[in-house]
Amino acid sequence: MSATTVTHEEHRDDIASKLGMWLFIFTELLLFGGLFIVYSVFRHGNLEAFNLAAQHLDVKVGTINTFILLISSMTIAMSTTSIQKKDKRTTLILIAITVALAIAFLVNKYFEWGHKIHDGLYPGSDVLAELGRGDTLFFGLYFFMTGLHALHIIIGMTFLIVIFFRVRKEHITHDNFQLLENGGLYWHLVDIIWIFLFPLFYLITL
């Protein structure tokens, strides 16, 4: 090959990219899986306190947030269809809706946490110290696990905003959309974690 005919070939490996994303998702599942086990063990040892404490949580807000996340999961899944159909406009709209729903989830979470903190139900509070060990454990786990989940929402949302601009600049196209699919995979992971957090903290009071 002579120096004059050198062409720049894009190096790309979609399979490896997706595999890497899945491996990362598995580590995330094990991280939250470990926390679910911690929750189950403490619940097992403090059944009555956990059931009473769970009744402090607002099932209505929890249900609305579950609906928000499920819908956002669908819109980001749809964006992989629209990008393959070369429909850039719809792809951008779908990503924007997903980000908007993520913000709605966080706003709900903000008011929910604010309400709990207002009631004195936060780690290290005097109210919890009086209520005893079970309630302290429940709310400690509640704030840690929903907080870690909210952090994942923020990271996923940032990831999707970056993807939005890459689609707009046509760095992500109908034949090169692995980054969009990876962003979607991460978003669905966030959804799956919430699917388990919701019944464990909000619904189970028996």
Partner 1 sequence: MADSNHHIVPYKTYVLILLLLLTLTSISVAVTQVQLTKWATPVALLIATVKSSFVLAVFMHLKFDHPVYKRMAILIFLLLVVVIIITFLDYAFR
Q: Residue numbers of the site for partner 1 (CB under 8 A)? A: 14-15, 18-19, 22, 26, 29-30, 33, 37, 40-41, 44, 59, 63, 66-67, 70-71, 73-74, 77-78, 80-81, 84-85, 175, 177-178, 181, 184-185, 188, 191-192, 195-196, 198-199, 203-206
The tokens describing 193, both together, are 């974690």
Q: Which is nearer to partner 1, 117 or 204 (CB)?
A: 204
Phi, psi (rounded to 5 degrees) for 21: -65, -45
CB of 130 to partner 1, least distance (A): 27
Strand partners of residue 176: 173
Q: Which is nearer to partner 1, 125 or 176 (CB)?
A: 176
158 vs 205 by CB, closer to partner 1: 205
The CA distance from 179 to 76, in Å, is 12
CB of 106 to partner 1, least distance (A): 20
Q: CB of 150: closest distance to partner 1 in angstroms?
A: 19
CB of 68 to partner 1, least distance (A): 11
**What minimum distance in Å lies between the beta carbon of 104 and partner 1?**
16
Spacing of C-alpha 150 from chain mean position: 7
For partner 1, the closer of residues 57 and 128 by Cβ is 57
The nearest distance, CB 103 to partner 1, in angstroms, is: 20
**Integer Cα distance of 108 and 149 in angstroms:** 14
Residue 192 three-state SS: helix
Which CB sits closer to partner 1, 123 or 199? 199
**Exposure on the CB side of residue 29, measured as CA atoms within 13 A:** 14
Nearer CB in complex with partner 1: 86/168: 86
186 closest CA partner among 158, 165, 167: 158
Distance CA 53, CA 202 (A): 10
Take residue 75 and report the two structure tokens written for it. Answer: 């819109």
Q: Yes or no: say if 82 and 94 are a contact pair by the CB < 8 Å rule.
A: yes
